[in-house]
Amino acid sequence: MKNIVILLIFLLLSFPANAKVKSKDVSFPKHFYTENIEVCSFVGDESFKSDYTKSRIESLAKLDWMSEWAKGNSRSVNHKNLTGPMTLFAVTTHTAIGNNDKNEIKLAKEILIKMAKADILFDTISRKELKNKPRCWKDGNPEAPCWYHAYEFARDAFTNYLIIAIYLKDHLNEKEFKTVNKYVKKMYKKFIQPHQFSVDDKGFYAMGNGGIPNLVYANWTNDKKFAAKEFNFRFKNIEKVFYKDGYINNNSFRGYRGLWYHSYGLNSALGYIYLAKLWGAEIPDTVMKKITKAAEVLNLGIKDYEKFTSRKYNGDQLNNKYKKKNARMHTHQEALAIDTLMEMITGVKHEVDPTYLRKRRAKGIDNLIGFNANCIKN
């Protein structure tokens, strides 16, 4: 009996369970996804010197996002006048910091403050107000309005704004910081805080399924306890929605866009895990195994689409009523560096996907995770 007890103790010590992330484990990199921003050709070289670029970015201060959103539906989001200028703002600021261009940094600060004073996106519908609106894909109709998209895209655009603010934080004087911080807190309380640890465990979507907005705010406020809580919560979320065989709840089963949304969810999770590792969190073995398997399933879909779609799913699914003419049978083109992230995080090399390579932007910021992984310095 004594020998058995000793053996059990030995086994427990040999195979320790992943410990929860604690605040003391967390370390915030200066520029969110990296300690120091360097010039990166994969981001681009847009500058505020271009009148078009500057004007396009400044258009955000007057954007009526709810009117733009109303032009879309459950199938397609009319977001270019929101995400386009915000991406440009991220690119120009990233380049300004990388070049340590004082004049460009000054212009970036001015626009950041102008947007804060304009309360951009604050009038967007909140997650709480969605309770009084019909669901997306009501009755399986792709033309039905999707109010959640209005909230989601505003939340994620604000997250990108806050990442830009983190880039510029050291360049803000006390008065400038107070102006930006007042706006940040206001947006956080409306768009992030009420549902920061609330998910329905159906699918895994943009910005680490809502986890990256929490991390960005934690970085901005230097709140390590909040970051640790977020990591522990999101790891459990990943474990629930990523299946052992590599498929993703909801994402992988969206009809003619199943592969597209599978890669969308995978990319979001990969970006999140990269940040978790960088910030000092230990990734649970179960999470890593499922993410790695999901990368392999993406490659399966690229090589053998019919085999990928043969996997049966019995869950509740309304958002899969796509016609073949609206098919997206390739890796999501907005996952700008999923090939880099896959190999870096899982060791799985992304299969050549000609349609994806043709459609993805050669440069820019990945709006699904808030940074371009091709700019990471190993």
The owner of tokens 């195994």 is 289
Question: Who has greater pLDDT, 8 or 220?
Answer: 220
Instruction: Tell me the pLDDT of the chain averaged across its residues.
Output: 92
**SS3 state at 58:** helix
Asked if the structure places residue 2 within a domain, the reply is no
pLDDT in tens, 29-40: 999 999 999 999
Tokens of 350: 């992304």
Q: Is the model's pLDDT at 27 over the cut of 90?
A: yes
In the prediction, which pLDDT does 187 show?
Answer: 97
Q: Is the model's pLDDT at 319 over the cut of 80?
A: no
In the prediction, which pLDDT does 113 show?
Answer: 98
Asked if the structure places residue 12 within a domain, the reply is no
Q: Is the model's pLDDT at 301 over the cut of 90?
A: yes
Asked if the structure places residue 354 within a domain, the reply is yes
Model confidence band, residue 324 (pLDDT cutoffs 50, 70, 90) = confident
Q: Is the model's pLDDT at 15 over the cut of 70?
A: no
pLDDT in tens, 135-186: 888 888 889 999 999 999 999 999 999 999 999 999 999 999 999 999 999 9
Asked if the structure places residue 6 within a domain, the reply is no
Model confidence band, residue 246 (pLDDT cutoffs 50, 70, 90) = very high
Asked if the structure places residue 10 within a domain, the reply is no
Cα gap 263→116, rounded to integer Å: 34
Q: Cβ distance 274 to 373 under 8 Å?
A: yes
The domain of 351 spans 20-373
Asked if the structure places residue 4 within a domain, the reply is no
Asked if the structure places residue 301 within a domain, the reply is yes
Contacts of 3 (CB under 8 A, 6+ apart): none
Q: Is the model's pLDDT at 6 over the cut of 70?
A: no
In the prediction, which pLDDT does 377 show?
Answer: 72
In the prediction, which pLDDT does 8 show?
Answer: 46
Asked if the structure places residue 3 within a domain, the reply is no
Least confident segment among 61-70, 263-272, 318-327, 347-356: 318-327
pTM of the model: 0.92
Q: Cβ distance 262 to 252 under 8 Å?
A: yes
Q: Is the model's pLDDT at 18 over the cut of 70?
A: no
Q: Is the model's pLDDT at 14 over the cut of 60?
A: no
Total number of domains in the chain: 1
Cα gap 308→331, rounded to integer Å: 13
Cα gap 211→217, rounded to integer Å: 10
In the prediction, which pLDDT does 293 show?
Answer: 98
Cα gap 126→158, rounded to integer Å: 13
Q: What is the CATH number of the domain that holds 296?
A: 1.50.10.100
Q: Is the model's pLDDT at 9 over the cut of 50?
A: no
| Mean local confidence (pLDDT), 276-294 | 98
Q: Is the model's pLDDT at 260 over the cut of 60?
A: yes
Question: Who has greater pLDDT, 305 or 324?
Answer: 305
Gyration radius of the chain's alpha carbons: 21
Cα gap 161→287, rounded to integer Å: 29
Model confidence band, residue 279 (pLDDT cutoffs 50, 70, 90) = very high
Q: Which amino acid is at 217?
A: Y
In the prediction, which pLDDT does 312 show?
Answer: 87
